Structure 1
Amino acid sequence: MTRSPLLWAELRRDEVAAARDAGAVVVIPVGAIEQHGPHLPLNTDISDAWAVATRLSASCDDPPVLVAPPVPWGVSHYHHVFPGTLSLTVESLSALLLDLCRSVATNGFTRIVLLNGHGGNAATIETVATRANVEGIDVFPITYWHLVPETMAELAAHDGGHIGHAGEMETSLQLHLQPDLVDRAALEQPLGRPMEEVALVPGIYWPPRVREEAPDGVYGLAHEGTAEKGERLLAAVVERLTELLRGRLA
């Protein structure tokens, strides 16, 4: 039976202590507030990460999963070419997340997951995890779509298995999670740029040039997104994370 998620901010202090004593894993969702084309809301990335975290908490009780308040801002400076983006520097995000991890550890929790919903945060959260690990704090940086490459290859076939940006998969997730915030009229005609034209070479960092690469702010084919694909991706990610928490990350 699905339960309500265990949310740090809604607990009383003794309930946090009980979660600690039960061996709970703390998940900190990290995202971004940035443009997502003409059709998706600015909170897409943190909405997706929050959905993964809360569904994981509601479905997994061994171990318990305690969801910390989300960190909605990320490293998004390259999206300032469009209105709406709120960005942190790498240094600011790193300092914020490291302080949060230290604070969680001070409360006695021994496993922390930085659950990332924005590609531009990936390098930063990995650095934060490394610094925390040096201090003896077990922090695991996880970018959710990387957990399920086979599912991504199937569901994001039009985007070559890539997450893109506001493309097939992010549009699918938002059609499932926040359908009232999606401008469906914008999806009635082809929207976005094929990923084979903009996909990066693995292992090489390529500074994003959004206006040049994706004039409408969309990497991938947004009009190929469906709510059903979003639901399936979310379920696959939660299932895989549950396996990891009971296995490699135990």
Structure 2
Amino acid sequence: MATELAHSAWPAVPTGDVLVLVPVGSTEQHGPHLPLTTDSVIAEAVASRTAARLPGGPVRVAPTLAYGNSGEHAGFPGTVSIGHEALRLVLVETVRSLALWASRTVFVNGHGGNVRALDEAVGQLRDEGHDVAWTGCGFPGGDAHAGRSETSAMLHLAPADVRMDAAAAGDTRPIAEILPDLIRDGVRSVARNGVLGDPAGASAREGRDLIDSLVDGTVRRVVAAAPDRRGRLTDPSPAARP
């Protein structure tokens, strides 16, 4: 049975052939209607629900790494970013510590800004001989940030933290079109309210379906244990292949 490390005493923690899922999130603005913890809430939910469904040996879910690389959101109060290099070091040292008692680590990432740090850290750790990989919590076809997809997910996971009366559309252009401006000047330069998309139509039912799909895919990837050259877990499902 999967157990959260945050609620465990050390004698109850197994050692040896143990898989640890580590949610990686962020503390950053998600528009005027979603909490700063949105990415962390989603990553933690996916990790916990995945752990409950995994077959085989013991699985533990580590406390969420709640600070990520969120510099593009620095123009909004409440955002806390530790940057790429600090995050990379945290990821590396987390696995080195876990490896003292657990055999395998999988990071479950909820924030796109963390990708570079994950790729570099996991690549380094695999070169050191650690059994480590990572997987993401993106919504295929969804809007980029604080739009319908994330709003639906949070209406399912943490409805008390969603302020739908404050929800409003932001910049709805495709992310590829606005990416140069985001990289150069940050999110506020293209969306004054911090939303990249439109939360209109979001619902808890849609959020449940989105999270269920994320968990299904995460379970498949963790069980298959087939990381690519960057350490990202690949999906063995034919439907998931391009």
Conserved 8 A contact 1:31-1:74: yes
Comparing 236-245 and 90-99, the one that deviates more: 236-245
2:19 paired residue number: 25
State the match for 2:198 in structure 1: 221
- Structure 1 residues 91-106: aligned runs within 5 Å: 91-106=85-100
Partner of 1:134: 127
Q: Which runs of 5+ in 2 are unaligned?
A: 228-242
**Is 1:60 paired with 2:59?**
no
Q: What CA deviation, in whole Å up to 9, does each residue of 1:192-218 have, x standing for no partner?
A: 221xx24117x9996162122212100
Which residue of 170, 184, 191 maps to 1:192? 170
Greater mean deviation of Cα atoms: 53-62 or 111-120: 53-62
Q: Distance in 2 between matches of 1:64 and 1:241?
A: 17
Number of residue pairs aligned between Structure 1 and Structure 2 = 225
Instruction: Report the CA distance between 1:90 and its aligned residue.
Output: 1.2
RMSD, aligned α-carbons: 2.2
More helix per residue: 1
Counterparts of 1:205 and 1:129, CA distance in 2:
29
1:174 to 147, 150, 154: 154
Question: With structure 1 as the length reference, what TM-score do the two structures score?
Answer: 0.83
* Separation of aligned partners in 2, 1:205 and 1:242: 36
Counterpart Cα distance in 2 of 1:199 and 1:13 = 45
Q: Following the alignment from structure 2 to structure 1, what is the Cα–Cα distance between the partners of residues 61 and 225?
A: 20
> Structure 1 residue 62: deviation in Å?
2.7
Q: Quick check: 1:63–1:246 contact (8 Å CA) kept in 2?
A: no
Q: Relative to structure 1, is the Cα distance of residues 138 and 205 closer, same or farther in structure 2, using a 3 angstrom cutoff? A: farther
Query: Which residue pairs with 2:12 in the alignment?
Result: 15
Distance in 2 separating the partners of 1:84 and 1:191? 20
Greater mean alpha carbon deviation, residues 162-171 or residues 93-102: 162-171
Cα distance change on mapping 1:7 and 1:55 into 2, 3 Å: same
Partner of 2:236: none
* Aligned pair partner of 1:211 in 145, 168, 188: 188
Larger deviation, residues 74-83 vs 207-216: 207-216
1:61 positional shift = 3.7
Match of 1:125 in 2: 118
Q: Which runs of 5+ in 1 are unaligned?
A: 146-151, 154-160
Task: Give the TM-score normalised by structure 2.
Answer: 0.85
- SS at 1:71 equivalent: coil
| Partner-residue secondary structure (3-state), 2:189 | helix
Alignment of 1:137-156 (within 5 A): 137-145=130-138, 152-153=139-140
